[in-house]
Chains A and B, each alone.
Chain A
Amino acid sequence: MHTISMTVFDWAILVVYLGFVVWVGFYLKKFTKTDKDYFLAGRRNSAFVAGVAFMSANMGALEVVGYAGQGAEYGLFALHFYLIGAIPAILFLGVFMMRFYYNNRIKSTPGYLKERYDEKTRVLNAISFAVMTVLSSGISLYALALVLKTFLGWNWDLSIWLSAGFVALYITLSGLLSAIFTEVIQFFLIWGGILLLPILGIIDLGGPTKAFASLPQVYTHLWSITGSAADNPMKLGWPALIFGLGFGISFGYWTTDFLIIQRAFSAKDVRSARMAPIISSYFKILLGFVVVGSGMVGLALMRDPNSGFTLLHTGGKINYDSVIPLLMMRFFPPGLVGVGVTALIAMFMAGQAGNMSAFNTVWTYDIYQSVINKNASEKHLIWMGRVATVVGILLSIVGAYWARSMPTIIDYLQAIASWILAPAVAVILLGMFVKWISPDGAFWGMLIGTLVSFAMFMALELGWITPGAIAPGGEASAMAANFWRALWAWLISSGIAMAVSLFTEKRPEAELVGLVRGLTRETEVEQVPLLKKPIFWASVTTVIFIVLNIVFW
């Protein structure tokens, strides 16, 4: 395969972007005076800025490149990851949960667990989150270097060290403040780089009607092919989609992963924080059409023998993840190549910066200040945040080399998220909505849920059980098994948390005001007009969500 060739214009675009993100780090340093500035971006962002950053943190290259690959492999069915797999959870976060997260005493999701339950529950969650974040960051770096090497012919080591170096520089200087600034820029660059792909693809295929008609029915519907798992290319029945993806996986990620939620924490008030995920839901839907649409363009082109378009083959199998770079190679002239390549690098850096700004906050507040140095001054905490960023980046680089030496390890590491997030969402949801859940109940629920999820994963990997063993009905694909595993982890954590709470000491209700529904008044939206109420915009998204599911049924 030949690589993408870059002209002087393309290089200049990349240099402008990289120069800008470094300048932002230095420029914002003078505004980073307190730990709140460094770890929470001063809590002064508007709902829109926080919403864009919220979305941008989710637009890492692993997501965009990966889901475009899913679109190329499974067609429109992959849009489920952007609809049932995202929208209900995002809206639930904005409408119901953010009010309890956004609190002057709380600076992270483990911080919520401390206020609602106790120190040991917080530390357990913080340690597992920190490990997950560093490993995810390492995988992201590995994937970046792989893309740059495959499609641009760049040196593997240089790609890793340079991109990690840029992220380390601007996050170390100004923390979440510069992370959010650059994420907003990256948001526009990413749209600028990928929005054209489905548009040009559809033109190339002869228009939307012709492009859609060129694909078999299993690639152009969402629900009519889910009556039985055997009816669709992803081998997922509707129960796995609704309960496994829609609840088990989606709620764990969107309502618990601090990497995403931290962006909403940067909002200037609780109403803006609640609006941030709701605003991002509109972008999420649009992104779904752009990303999955790009994949479907690749799918349609592959099926057209006259197009000359083929995806890469790795190990004898089609590498669907190659669809975005290969479409750029097919459609982008000089200039646009620079925007496309910069968008790809911006996606990786957005993911990396998101991981690092979340890691430095959780490490500093929830592990260092909580366990190691309880009396640390504000200045010392900022210093520790900077040290944590550099150490976190170095650990990610180690993770990237580890992933390179053991490519199969990536599958295991990505599964870590479901071991950690599904049990966490169980105890956080119970904490917010059930006032009698005790600290011991939450701790044991989260710990045992994590261990059970891990045990199920290993039993599947080692072939001790089949995917059907953990799926109702007895038949399931590997992906369906992932969805069901997350749901079981959630249910087991919830069950244990409730059972243990029956016999252990609860927190007094007076200490739970502002943290639990039923003990907290919704004062922040009492006086605002309808157009500023989170529930109004969440309702609009809900209508769009329902209409899209019906149209593409």
Chain B
Amino acid sequence: MIDSATQMKPIWYFVGWVLIAIGVLVFAAGVYYMLFPIDLDIALRGMHMSIWWGAILILGGVLLTVFNRKPVNV
């Protein structure tokens, strides 16, 4: 936890969490609309890019949070 005014988590830790949160939403959207397709005029829709891109964002986010969880002195 970040609990003092002299110790701050590295910026990459926060980037990681944002990527995880957004990645989960993108991934969930991809899975949802694969299971319950809607009529959208989109090129390459068969590639299910939301699923792939969501997974990449989650992976990047996890790596950033794991490797940057130690707070640093400011």
Rounded to whole angstroms, the CA-CA distance of A551 and B15 in the bound complex is 35
Assess the A204–B43 pair: CB atoms within 8 A.
yes
Q: Does B35 contact A (CB under 8 A)?
A: no
Partner of B50, one of A27, A203, A334: A334
Q: State in angstroms the CA–CA spacing of A488 and B26 once bound together.
A: 50
Main SS at interface, chain A: helix
A9, B14: Cβ atoms closer than 8 Å = no
Cβ proximity bits A182-197 to B, threshold 8 Å, 1 near / 0 not: 0011001100100010
The listed residue (B8, B18, B53) touching A185 by CB distance below 8 A is B18
CB contact list, A310-339 vs B, under 8 A:
330-336, 338-339
What CA separation (Å) do A30 and B22 show in the bound complex? 27
Known: A181-B11, A331-B43. A42 touches B74 (CB 8 A): yes
Q: B41-72: contact bitstring with A at CB < 8 Å (1 yes, 0 no)? A: 01111011110011001001000000000000
Closest to B31 in A: A335
Decide: B18 and A335 in contact? CB cutoff 8 A.
Answer: no
Q: In chain B between 1 and 22, which residues have their CB closer than 8 angstroms to a CB of chain A? A: 2, 5, 8, 11-12, 14-15, 18-19, 21-22
- Check B15 against A188 for contact (C-beta < 8 Å): yes
Do A189 and B22 touch across chains, with their CB atoms under 8 A apart? yes
**A162 at interface by CB-CB < 8 Å:** no
Q: Which of A9, A33, A42, A331 contacts B32 (CB 8 A)?
A: A9
In the assembled complex, the Cα of A20 lies from the Cα of B54 at a distance in Å of: 19
Considering the chains assembled together, what is the distance between the CA atoms of A185 and B18 in angstroms? Answer: 8
Task: Give Cα A27 to B8, complex, Å.
Answer: 10
Is A517's beta carbon under 8 Å from chain B?
no
List of A residues within 8 angstroms of B18 by Cβ? 16-17, 20, 185, 188-189
Contact in complex: A9, B57 (CB < 8 Å): no
| CB atoms of B19 and A336 under 8 A apart | no
Residues on the A chain within 8 Å of B42, using CB: 330-333
Smallest distance from the beta carbon of B65 to chain A beta carbons, Å?
13
The number of chain A residues touching the other chain, given as a range, is 35 or more
Residues in chain A near residue B28, CB distance under 8 A? 9, 335
Closest-by-CB residue of B relative to A334 is B29
* Bound-complex Cα distance A12 to B40 (A): 20
- Given A44-B74, A333-B33, the answer on whether A204 and B26 have CB atoms closer than 8 Å is no
When C-beta atoms are compared, the residue in chain B nearest to A53 turns out to be: B11
Chain A 111-127 interface mask (CB, 8 Å, partner B; 1/0): 00000000000000000
User: Contacts of B53 on A, CB cut-off 8 Å?
Assistant: 192, 196, 335-336, 339
Let me know if A30 and B29 touch, CB within 8 A. no
Q: Which residues of chain A in 168-225 are interfacial with respect to chain B, using CB atoms and an 8 Å cutoff?
A: 180-181, 184-185, 188-189, 192, 196, 200, 203-204
Smallest Cβ distance from B7 to chain A, in angstroms? 10
The smallest C-beta distance from A276 to any residue of chain B, in angstroms, reads 14
Least CB distance, B17 to chain A, in whole angstroms: 8
Write the chain B residue with the least CB distance to A8: B29
Q: Could you tell me the distance in whole angstroms from the C-beta of B8 to the nearest C-beta in chain A?
A: 6
Which chain B residues lie closer than 8 Å to A49 at the CB level? 11
Contact B74 A13 (CB under 8 A): no
Interface check A31, CB cutoff 8 A? yes
The docked-state distance in angstroms from the alpha carbon of A339 to that of B50 is 10
Q: Are A31 and B8 in contact (CB under 8 A)?
A: yes
Of the residues B11, B27, B38, contact of A335 by C-beta under 8 Å: B27
| Chain A 2-42: CB-based contact to B (< 8 A → 1; otherwise 0) | 00000101101100110010001001001101000000001
A196: chain B residues within 8 A (beta carbon): 49, 53
The 8 A CB mask of A328-362 against B (1 = contact, 0 = none) is 00111111101100100000000000000000000
- Do B15 and A184 touch across chains, with their CB atoms under 8 A apart? yes
Residues of B within 8 A of A330 (CB): 42-43
- Point out the residues of chain A lying under 8 angstroms from B19, CB to CB: 188, 192
Whether B43 and A9, one on each chain, are in contact in the complex, defined by CB atoms closer than 8 angstroms, is no
Q: Report the separation of the CA atoms of residues A335 and B30 in the bound assembly, to the nearest whole angstrom.
A: 7
Q: B22–A192 contact, CB under 8 A?
A: yes
User: Contacts A331-B43, A336-B53: A184 and B33 contacting too (C-beta < 8 A)?
Assistant: no
Whether A31 contacts B43 by the Cβ 8 Å rule is no
Residues of the B chain whose Cβ atoms lie less than 8 Å from the Cβ of A188:
15, 18-19, 60
**A185 & B14 in contact (Cβ 8 Å cutoff):** yes
The complex places the Cα of A181 from the Cα of B10 at a distance, in Å, of: 10
Pair A24/B27 contact, Cβ less than 8 Å? no
Q: Which of A44, A181, A331, A333 contacts B29 (CB 8 A)?
A: A333
* Complex contact B29–A10 (CB within 8 A): yes
Chain B residues with CB below 8 A from A180, complex form: 11
Taking beta carbons and an 8 Å cutoff, which residues of A are in contact with B? 7, 9-10, 12-13, 16-17, 20, 24, 27, 30-31, 33, 42, 44, 49, 180-181, 184-185, 188-189, 192, 196, 200, 203-204, 330-336, 338-339, 342
Sample 6 A-B pairs with CB under 8 A, ordered by A number: A10-B29, A31-B8, A203-B44, A333-B33, A335-B53, A338-B22
A333-B40, A333-B50, A336-B29 are known; give 7 further A-B pairs, CB within 8 A. Answer: A49-B11, A330-B43, A333-B33, A333-B45, A336-B26, A336-B53, A339-B53
